[in-house]
Amino acid sequence: MLDCQLIIFDCDGVLVDTEPVTNRLLAECLTEIGWPMTTQQSIETFKGRDLHVIRAEAEAKVGRELPDLLPTYRSRMFEAFASEPIGLIEGALELLDALDEAGTHKRCVASNGPMNKMQASLTSAGLIDRFHHEGEARIYSAYDIGIWKPEPGLFLHAAERMGSRPSDAVVIEDSVSGIVAANRAGMRVVGLAGLTSAAALEEAGATWVITSLNEVLVGLGG
Ligand SMILES: [Mg+2]
């Protein structure tokens, strides 16, 4: 599964367990502007997608122009990250430890979220140092290049910065849009099922589907 040079980790839902809190806040914001939604509906509808698209969909749904959702949503999110420690995805720490020990793979993070969100969540979860190498942060945000998953540009950018070809990279993703992006980038992709079902990840084109990062750990030897 990991016969590759580079592992590109998605952030939310693969390393840090942010989706429950961020989708609760997004559902709250959408409900307030007239699109009633639960946390679960928000996860099903929006996980891994780009907030610009979400605003356009909300405007279509409520039939009027809406104020920018982002400032309210983001300020609530940073408050939540600061007040409730963000959990790790099960197996993430063990996988990073095993990769450190093996010393066989380069790794980075690539997310549709903004850089300060990744920094806040990875710091809260105690993982930020695991993605620094010789003083350089190996963390790539779609906001910094203006291309969001499911477009392939973010993964291509990350691989280029890491000095690897797409065919030498494996992406670990938990969302349909991320799996589509990896496929379009010509990369193999491990789909981590959880909030999104194994069937949906497989249908989106995941090369392998797992239900726990521990399965990657087991496959590290071969
Ligand atoms: Mg994700």
CA of 196 to the centre of ligand 1 (A): 10
pLDDT at 13: 94
pLDDT at 67: 83
Residues tagged active-site? 10
CA of 200 to the centre of ligand 1 (A): 14
In the 3-class helix/strand/coil scheme, how is the chain assigned residue by residue? CCCCCEEEECCECCCECCHHHHHHHHHHHHHHCCCCCCHHHHHHHHCCCCHHHHHHHHHHHHCCCCCCCHHHHHHHHHHHHHHCCCCECCCHHHHHHHHHHHCCCEEEEEECCCHHHHHHHHHHCCCHHHHEECCEECEEEHHHHCCCCCCCHHHHHHHHHHCCCHHHEEEEECCHHHHHHHHHCCCEEEEECCCCCHHHHHHHCCCEEECCCHHHHHHCCC
For 147-168, write each residue's pLDDT tens digit: 999 999 999 999 999 999 999 9
19-83 has which fold?
DNA polymerase; domain 1 (1.10.150)
Q: Where are the domains of the chain?
A: 6-18+87-219, 19-83
CATH 3.40.50.1980 is right for the domain spanning 6-18+87-219: no
Report residues of the chain scoring pLDDT below 50: 222
CA of 173 to the centre of ligand 1 (A): 6
CA of 119 to the centre of ligand 1 (A): 15
CA of 98 to the centre of ligand 1 (A): 22
pLDDT at 221: 54
pLDDT at 219: 63
Q: pTM of the full predicted structure?
A: 0.89
For 65-92, write each residue's pLDDT tens digit: 988 888 899 999 999 988 888 999 999 9
CA of 19 to the centre of ligand 1 (A): 8
pLDDT at 222: 42
CA of 136 to the centre of ligand 1 (A): 23
